[in-house]
Amino acid sequence: MANLYTKVKLYLEANSKTWLNEENNITLRNEGSGDYIHTWNVSGLAKPTDEQLATYESSAQTEENNNVIRHTRKTAYGDIGDQLDEIFKDIDAWKARIQSIKDANPKE
C-alpha cells in the first residue's frame, strides 16, 4: 500500500500544486490507527477525501517502487568521478556496465 504522503503529493500535482510549495500548509500524522491529514491549509484546493486519495493508490505505488529502483541504480552506478574515469578509459565497458545495472533494476 502506498504512503499517504505520495498520494497527497500526486493529488496536489494533479491540481497544479506541489508538495514543495505546500509542505508548510499540510500536516500528516499517525497516532496509532493509520496515517491521516491533520492540517490542510492549501489555498484554492479542498482537502482530498479518502475516496479521492484511493484513486492515486496505483500510481503512488508505482512512484514509490521507482524511487527504490532509482536509489538502487544510483548506488550501483558509483561515484560520478569514477564513472567519468571509466568512460575515458573504455566507454564501451562503461555502457555495458550501466546497461546491466538498468536491466537488473527495471522501472515500472
pLDDT, tens digit, 9 for 90 and up, residues 49-107: 999 999 999 999 999 999 999 999 999 999 999 999 999 999 999 999 999 999 999 99
Class of domain 4-77: alpha beta
CB 61 within 8 A of CB 2: yes
Q: What pTM value is reported for the model?
A: 0.81
C-beta of residue 47 within 8 angstroms of C-beta of residue 34: no
For 18-38, write each residue's pLDDT tens digit: 999 998 999 999 999 899 999
CA distance 53 to 56: 5
Return d(Cα 50, Cα 36) in angstroms, integer. 9
pLDDT of residue 14: 97
